[in-house]
Amino acid sequence: MGTAGAIEQLERVTHLQSNANATMVELQAGLADVRVLRSFFDSAEANFARRIAAGSSFPEKDVAEAAGGTLNDASRILERTRTLDAAPEMAAALDAGRISGSHVDVLSRAAKHLDDKLSVVLFDKVANLVDVAAVATVPDFAKRLRDEVSRILADDGVARLERQRRSTALSSWVDDEGMWRVSGKFDPVTGIRLAATLESAVETLFAEAESPTCPTDPIEKQKYLRALALSRLIERAGAVGLGNAADGAPPRTPGIGHGAASRSKSGRPEFVAVIDVSLNQAAGGRRPINHRSHDDPAHAAEPGTTGSNTNGANTNGARTDADSTPTSPACVTWPIPVEVPNDVLAELLGNDLKSEVSAVVIADGLVLHAPGRLDLGRATRLANRAQRRALRGLYSSCAIPGCRSSYDRCQLHHITWWRHGGRTDLGNLLPVCSHHHHKIHDDGWAIELGLQRALTLRLPDGQVMTTGPPTRTAA
């Protein structure tokens, strides 16, 4: 759609907004104009984002700042742009107002189910699908694309079960009501085994005394019991050490070489109490905390020691002196992603059979104390649970500025790369999401950690981004 056409439609919409006597037909025509204009602006947005990306080392950041959105919003815009580049017929239809940006997004999602070679086959079919998208709702168009993907995979000769096994996935999130939600899909063979195990657990629950919170509606009751059964199965698996590893130790195999003590610790939820003793800014500003590096023999911790010792030094290079006493009470937080009533939290924390509680003490971006071994040196490339626990006290999300990927979805990146001699020590580890981990390793992003873990990010185009000490309230 040309500029003149867009201006004409915008004038009609503006005039209609001020017309209190508009007829039903005129209002419906106005909504149609809005739909076309929205598509026009979606097309313009993709065009601008494409051009920004061509000259930017961090296009998500630049697009997010310009559009007033988040990095996730910018990633969606850039993904839409790449889809339009691969399917020019869709780009023309979007610009003409025949389809919406949401139609393009479902094409992007459909292509993710295919490898690069087969996604080209899907995009080649788009010319015949544009007319379908122009008259179909977004859900209907998504269904049509799923059918096309199935046909492409069948034509490729890939065994159906193998495709299904490759598509196995599980995700979890916290919804707007504070409920922990889980969604997964499994191949039929795995599904049969899981369903049989789950139904057996449900039958066991049926035989027990009915919970007062159980719904009376038969269908809702089945859903309720399945949820309880799944919870019980997972807890039972954890109780025998399934997939559990002690700090720095490999995962245990259930039932092999374990004492009762080790089994009783496995699978329990761990709560991290973050105790922030940062100095009070209101009382004359923050006084500096002295820092000592690991190479300073006067303040080096003994190998394998943890937390703070008698002279105040600790394993991540922080030191607290007598004159650095906080001027206000410490702030204690529980970084739990799900809202839990205080009385229930107290029950969980007070019952040794239900949970483990670990305290992480932080101040001005540094870990002053955390349980477990925090420095592993060159003994292993992989960070242990103690290191992840300690950094959870400082970070709630990816350390890259503006990224909202939660800490649980981050990897611990070596600032000095492992292949370059980097050590698996707390001071050399930084939580980053998989997207930004790729940027650092493959796209020339350079990061440095300064005092109090202040982050400096250098991009290939010369941009430099810096942050202060990490805070759990940061985005």
* φ/ψ of residue 89, rounded to 5: -65, -35
Q: Which residues pair with 414 in a beta bridge?
A: 429
Please tell me which of 157-171, 206-220, 457-471 the model is most confident about, judged by mean pLDDT.
Answer: 457-471
Indicate whether 311 pLDDT > 70: no
For residue 243, count other CB atoms closer than 10 A to its CB.
Answer: 12
Gap between the terminal Cα atoms of the chain: 38
CA dihedral sign, ordered 378, 380, 381, 384: negative
pLDDT tens track for 242-272? 444 434 443 343 333 333 333 334 455 667 8
Yes or no: say if 447 and 440 are a contact pair by the CB < 8 Å rule.
Answer: yes
Q: Tokens 């930004």, residue?
A: 436
Mean pLDDT within 161-167 = 78
Indicate whether 354 pLDDT > 70: no
Count of positions (residues) in the chain? 475
Instruction: Count Cα atoms within 13 angstroms, Cβ side, for 342.
Output: 1
Q: How far apart are CA 382 and CA 361, in angstroms?
A: 23
Angle between helices 71-86 and 24-54 (to 10 degrees): 90
List the structure tokens of 14: 């503006």
Q: Range with the lowest mean pLDDT among 98-112, 281-295, 455-469?
A: 281-295
Q: How far apart are CA 49 and CA 51, in angstroms?
A: 5
422 confidence band (pLDDT: 50, 70, 90): very high
Indicate whether 184 pLDDT > 80: yes
pLDDT tens track for 121-155? 899 888 889 999 999 999 999 999 998 888 887 76
Taking the CA atoms of the chain, what radius of gyration do you get in angstroms?
Answer: 28
pLDDT at 25: 92
pLDDT at 303: 33
Q: How far apart are CA 80 and CA 108, in angstroms?
A: 7
Mean pLDDT within 152-169 = 74
45 confidence band (pLDDT: 50, 70, 90): very high
